[in-house]
Amino acid sequence: MGRALVDVRVLQREYLLAISRAMTAELELPEVLRLILKSAVELVAGRAGIVALQDDQEEQLRVAAVYGIPTTLVEEFYPLLTELPPLEGAEQEAELTRRLRQAAASVDLGLTRMIRLPMVMGEQVVGVIYVFLAGQGTGYYIREDAIALLRAFAEQAAIAVRNARLYQQIYQEKQRMDAIVEQSADGVMILDPDLRIKEFNKALSLMTGWRPEEAVGRYHKEIFAWQKLRTDMDLETARASGWPFPGAAHLYVEGDLQRLYDEHDPMAVGGMVSLGITYAPLMDENGRMTDIIAGVRDLTRYREEEELQKTFISVVSHELKTPVSIIKGYAGTLRRQDANWSPEIVEESLTVIEEEADNLTNLIDSLLEVSRLQAGNFNLEISDDVMLPRIVKRVVQRFQTQTDDHTFAIHFPEDFPPIWGDERRLTQVMNNLISNAIKYSPEGGEVVIRGEVHPRHVTISVRDSGLGISEQDQHKIFQKFSRLDNALSRKTEGTGLGLYLTKAIIEAHNGRIWFHNNPDGPGTTFTFSLPRDE
């Protein structure tokens, strides 16, 4: 009771000072709340207290700070929190008193009274401070100005909660932004107005070979030292001439860069990368640039594709020209009025014309197939009774008439099953593999075609005794337009499309194709598998 006589104003100053210090010291919310709670309890010479905050999702109060109650007993006070007490109402009051008695009985702290201080922020009650008092002394009272101070504490607590929530929101937002930048599949970097790198994400690191921790802090120029610039300006020139220009804020720069070779990183590869960068300035309200956000795209593949297109045009035009000029030559010769051609010569010339016309048709068919593949409408014309042994026999018969240097052996077991597939395209596969076997064994030799039956699939292999394929070229041969650079491929005709299409056809049938150089002699064996019972 003596406490009530203490000069509350002194306490008031001390407590408020401590609380505002705590709030500006950027303490964690629970610590600030505990300090406010402790001050409130001490001010009224109470015994214990609880700060409970409104949980928006569950619409109920949750304990956020406790003072003077052993942790194991806090649970006993939960009934007091189960609903947010309205500020008035005698019945509510009675109910709360009942709950308090119940809690007091179980914790044995001699609690007899309770002060509830709603923490209000605007219209919203964000929580409640409970101060529990013990003793029943007559004449015990709480001075008016102490109550006013308690209200001030509740207000401070509400502000602390709001600050903490805002901070939490900003923090989460920042985390989210960082994650987006970091996880972005595109390269992202942030520069300061002096063009120094502030952020550099993982994707950009993969493109350039610079590790983020190495790149951050460097000038843009150090990392983006273009070997070849494909746009009018780079960032530095643009900046020097006054970028960001009003009305045209974004700057696009494209060029080729030497990728950093890091001897400590065995995964790092050197070589050129082609990048396209969009720089977007961030302005403050005074129109001053604060940051530059740059999105970086790796264009290397498009460039390679472009190169490939160029090869394609040169290969195809060569491949188209050759038969056309042969046909034209023969036709022109046959037409000459002054020559009296023997029937044999006429016959031979017409055969050549026919063959070359067939070559042209095949080439055009292949090109159409490739364009269908690229357009994504490569549809199989399926039947479920494709007889591979018959196809192989037919193809071999046709090739046998064209070569005297090669012999053919066909091995299929009796029970080789009919297969689900596209007969025309599987014929094309056999055509490609057998014609390659012949083309790439210029000395002649045996070509062996073997079929095998397995429980879930069948395999067909084509073995030649030709040149073989060198180790370093093995990964290339199924690529579009890839022709290995050897003396033979320069002499033989071909577009480098055969195996690319073959693989696409086999894979469209859910099969696989692979090859190996023969272990027991010269030459290569190509094998593909096709599933049974589709």
Q: Where are the beta strands (DSSP E) in 19-59?
A: 48-55
Residues of span 375-394 touching ligand ADP by CB under 6 A: none
Output Rg (C-alpha) for the chain, integer angstroms.
42
In this complex, which beta carbon is closest to ligand ADP, that of residue 103 or of residue 499? 499
Q: What are phi and psi of 109, to 5 degrees?
A: -110, 5
Half-sphere exposure of residue 444, counting CA atoms within 13 Å on the CB side? 7
Nearer to ligand ADP, 150 or 484 (CB): 484
Two structure tokens written together for 5: 């006589």
Judged by beta carbon, residue 199 or residue 356, the one nearer ligand ADP is 356
DSSP 259: P
> What are the backbone dihedrals phi and psi of residue 390, each rounded to the nearest 5 degrees, phi first?
-70, -40
Of 484, 505, 506, 530, the one binding ligand ADP (CB under 6 A) is 484
- Contact between 494 and ligand ADP by CB under 6 A: the answer reads yes
DSSP count for the chain of H helices, then E strands = 15, 17
Q: What's the CA gap between 103 and 132, in Å, rounded? A: 11
- What are the tokens at 128? 């409640």
Secondary structure (3-state) at 486: coil
Answer for which of 281, 323, 445, 498 binds ligand ADP (CB under 6 A) is 498
Candidate ranges 339-347, 382-390, 398-406, 433-441; the one touching ligand ADP (CB under 6 A): 433-441
User: Residues 489, 516, 522, 532: which binds ligand ADP (CB under 6 A)?
Assistant: 489
Judged by DSSP in three states, 488 sits in helix
Nearer to ligand ADP, 49 or 496 (CB): 496
Task: Please tell me whether residue 437 binds ligand ADP under the rule CB under 6 A.
Answer: yes
- Which of 39, 205, 208, 482 is in the footprint of ligand ADP by CB under 6 A? 482
Residue 381 Cβ vs ligand ADP, minimum distance, rounded to whole Å: 23
Q: Tell me how many degrees the CA angle 325-341-332 measures, rounded to the nearest 5.
A: 25
Nearer to ligand ADP, 281 or 498 (CB): 498
Q: Which two tokens stand for residue 520?
A: 């027991």
Q: Which is nearer to ligand ADP, 277 or 499 (CB)?
A: 499
State the Cα–Cα distance between residues 82 and 348, nearest whole angstrom. Answer: 103
Tracing tokens 């790439």 back to the chain, one arrives at: 440
Nearer residue to ligand ADP within complex by CB, 208 or 428: 428
Which listed residue (524, 528, 529, 530) binds ligand ADP by CB under 6 A?
Answer: 524
Q: How far is the CB of 352 from ligand ADP (least distance, A)?
A: 20
Which one of 239, 259, 483, 509 is in contact with ligand ADP (CB under 6 A)? 483
Question: With binding defined as CB under 6 A, does residue 440 bind ligand ADP?
Answer: yes
Nearest 10 degrees: Cα torsion 250, 253, 257, 262: 0
From residue 479, alpha-carbon distances to 276, 467, 476 in Å are 26, 19, 6
Q: Which is nearer to ligand ADP, 274 or 441 (CB)?
A: 441
Question: Does the protein bind ligand ADP through residue 366 (CB under 6 A)?
Answer: no
Please say whether the beta carbons of 278 and 294 come within 8 A: yes
If the CB atoms of residues 274 and 428 are measured against ligand ADP, the closer one turns out to be 428
Q: CB burial class (10 A; 0-12, 13-18, 19+) of residue 200?
A: buried
Residue closest to 427 by CA, chosen among 505, 375, 533, 314:
505
- Quick one: 209 or 523, whose CB is closer to ligand ADP? 523
323 binds ligand ADP per the rule CB under 6 A: no
Q: Which of 127, 421, 445, 496 binds ligand ADP (CB under 6 A)?
A: 496
Binding mask 460-479 for ligand ADP (x = CB under 6 A): ----x-xx-x-------x--
Interface with ligand ADP includes 208 (CB under 6 A)? no
What residues line the site for ligand ADP (CB under 6 A)? 432, 436-437, 440, 464, 466-467, 469, 477, 482-484, 489, 494-500, 524
